[in-house]
Each structure stands twice: as C-alpha cells, then as structure tokens.
Structure 1
C-alpha cells in the first residue's frame, strides 16, 4: 500500500494467464444482464467509469448496448490494461493502471464494478473514493457474489488465495451496505437474478455441482445501486 486506498500494481489477477484471458468470455452474459438492469437508459452524454476493468470487456459491451460519451476503465493488473487498450478499437474509452480515482472529483455520471469490491483491502476508502469521483446524483453499480452470506464462500476463499495474486477479504452483504451508507451513498440492493441459460461444463473447483451454479447466479450474486445525493 502506498496511501489510504491506494494499492500497488500487479502483473495479472490470475496466476494462470489462460484463466485471465477466459474471464471476459465467461462474464459476458452476466454483463449483458447487468446492463439490462441499469435504470439510466440514455447514456449519450454520460461519462462512465469501470473500476477493476480487467481486459476492458464490460465497457465495450456497455457501449454496444447503451452508447456513452466517454469511458474510463481502471485496474491494477498491468497486463490486463495492456490487453484492454489493444482491444478498444477506436471506442471513446481509455484504460489506465491505477487503484484510486484521486484527481477525478465529480467527473463521472455512472460507475460500475463487477466482482471487484470483495478484493479491495480498504473498502471504506474505496467507497469515499468513488463517491468523490461521481457527480451529484451519480450512481455506482457494484456487483458481487463473493461475500460471507454465500454458502460457497469457505470453498471460494481458499481458491481465491490459491489461484489469484490477491489478498482475500471477508465481508457480508450487510457489511458492504453499511460501509457505503457511512460514506454518504444512498444504498439500494437486489439479487442479480441472472435469467439466461447457463451452460453445463462439468465439475469445477468453483462450483461443486450444477445446482450450486444455478443457485449462485439466481440467488447469491448481489447488485448494489449506490446513489450520490444531489
């Protein structure tokens, strides 16, 4: 750590780079479902942040479905940001290696993160950081299924520690809601309730069986809508 909320860059999230490259393809249906839940439907004049963007796929999907004026994706994984910039294909998006939004006060209309907040060591500093980066009335959509209310969390906690270059954090759904509320957000939440078909791909370390996978995407994964007061 180099300051409150600031984290040193890493090479990549996953130890196995093939898993890193496959992450976007696996998340794409969930991203599309998330975008369908966004209450703001005209983003043509909006500036959008993706915090923990990995290889940048979410902002590319968002622009295809809800075109925005400009976007910024940030991540601490240097190889992921390098790949994101290679793939942006002329879109009004830039990607940067960074862990805080210092110097970006009241710049963004919307912010997003997908399976990122459970990895952040100082979640209170992150909440204050995003609040500052949003314009009055701006909204932060944060998705996570990695919380202590997840029945698979003891198993996943071990796998995160083994397979990624990160430090595991233990927080409940209520812990997140409380921290963001104390930072000054109006906090709303819902189950993500992914409605698409999930492919059966056999047993994996993450999901003991297919029933667990269906329950996870239908019941366990949470979407927070965090609003900065005007």
Structure 2
C-alpha cells in the first residue's frame, strides 16, 4: 500500500481471485438488495464504499434503478475494471478511501465485506455520516468479526491472500463505533435463503461451516442518519 495515497493495486495477491469473488458474491448481493428497506431508488443517489469491480452497483441498478451512484475503492485495478464493466448505467467510480469531496451527497450507502479492513472505524463512520443526506441510510455488511467462530483461521488467510491489514472487532464494537458517529444503529443476520455451493477454497472446507456462515454469522447493519443530522 502506498503511504501517501493509501491505495493498493489489487485486493488479492492473486488478481484472478477478484473475478472469482465477484461471481461468488452475486447471489449474496441479490439477497442483500432484497433486504434493503428503501424500495424506490429512482430519485436517489447511492454510494458503494469498497466497490471493488462494481458488481454490486450493477446488480442494484438492474433490480432497483437509481438516479446516480458512486463506487469508491482503494484498489486501482479494481476501479479500472469497474469503469470498463459499467456500460451505460449512471455510475461514477473513484480511487480512494475517504469521502471529503462528497458531503451530504447520498441517500443510500452500502458496503459489503469492507469494514473489517478499515483501520480507523470511527473515522470511517464519521466519514459516511457526513456523506449521507439527513435521513440517509448506510447498510454495512460483514461476517468478518470476532464473533465468527472461523475468525482465528480467517484472519490468517486474509493476511496471507490479500494486500490488506486485518482488524479484530466484534459485532458490538462496530455497533458502538457507528453509534458514536451519530447513527441510529440496528442490525440483523443476513440469513441467506438460497442454495449455497460447496467450494473447497480453504475458507470453509467444512460445508457445515459455509451453511452456518451465510445463514447465521454474516451480519447486516442498518445505520440511519436522523433527519436532524448535520455534516458540520
């Protein structure tokens, strides 16, 4: 990671792993989109924080078209691919990890498996809070937390396979950080209800672990910036 720009070239040491990850996340993204309370996004501005190759925003637009969106990520090659893949949908992509240029810009923000890699979670929570309009909502999704029984093994795999630094936080740690930022915090289990493929990739070689992870361990935070909230 570059110390001055705080960017990386790719998330994974093996760059082809990002393509495989996008394919595997597609059914999870569709399930997440179905959980989003806000149904009509036709007049809304959307943020995908840690968008990688932009797949989540493309899925969202196909299911619930939005007015415009920003996908931001610290991985330069991922953003280049997101731009190449986006087609004609109203999405802007940017390389970076902060949102100082987008104040009270978004009605809806999403991050999928990103917050566990953020070193300063309080700064991130405050950054998203400022970027949301009053009444805006942030859906932050992660199964990478210390309440996950697989976490001791996974944190080593993340360190080995990616160009990132892993953070150890519990579900409660996240809830407290977002509360400190001013959000009204609630959450639920993802409870993915589709068929889960068996993939012997080292993350969940025991199929029972995979079934438990997607139905019980993976958490969706719903974080609301109240109508009286201010970015000042």
TM tier, shorter chain?
over 0.9
Pairing of 1:183-198 with structure 2 (within 5 A): 183-198=181-196
Contact 1:7 1:99 in 2 (8 A): no
Unaligned runs of 5+ in 1: none
Q: Distance in 2 between matches of 1:100 and 1:41?
A: 27
> Which residue does 1:178 correspond to in 2?
176
The 4+ residue runs of structure 1 with deviation greater than 6 A are: none
Q: Secondary structure at the match of 1:24?
A: helix
Q: Secondary structure at the match of 1:8?
A: coil
Q: Secondary structure at the match of 1:150?
A: coil
Q: Please provide the CA RMSD for this pair.
A: 1.4
> Which residue does 1:105 correspond to in 2?
103
Q: Distance in 2 between matches of 1:161 and 1:199?
A: 25
Pairing of 1:197-216 with structure 2 (within 5 A): 197-201=195-199, 203-216=200-213
Normalising by structure 1, we get a TM-score of 0.96
> Which residue does 2:78 correspond to in 1?
80
Normalising by structure 2, we get a TM-score of 0.95
CA drift of 1:2 comes to 9.4
Equivalent residue for 1:52, pick from 41, 50, 53: 50
Pairing of 1:15-54 with structure 2 (within 5 A): 15-54=13-52
Q: Secondary structure at the match of 1:45?
A: coil
Q: Distance in 2 between matches of 1:122 and 1:75?
A: 16
Q: Secondary structure at the match of 1:49?
A: strand
Are residues 1:133 and 2:131 paired? yes
Unaligned runs of 5+ in 2: 228-232
Q: Distance in 2 between matches of 1:7 and 1:117?
A: 19
Q: Deviations over 1:146-196 (max 9, x none)?
A: 000000000000000000000010000000000000110000000000000
CA drift of 1:208 comes to 3.0
Q: Distance in 2 between matches of 1:187 and 1:172?
A: 15
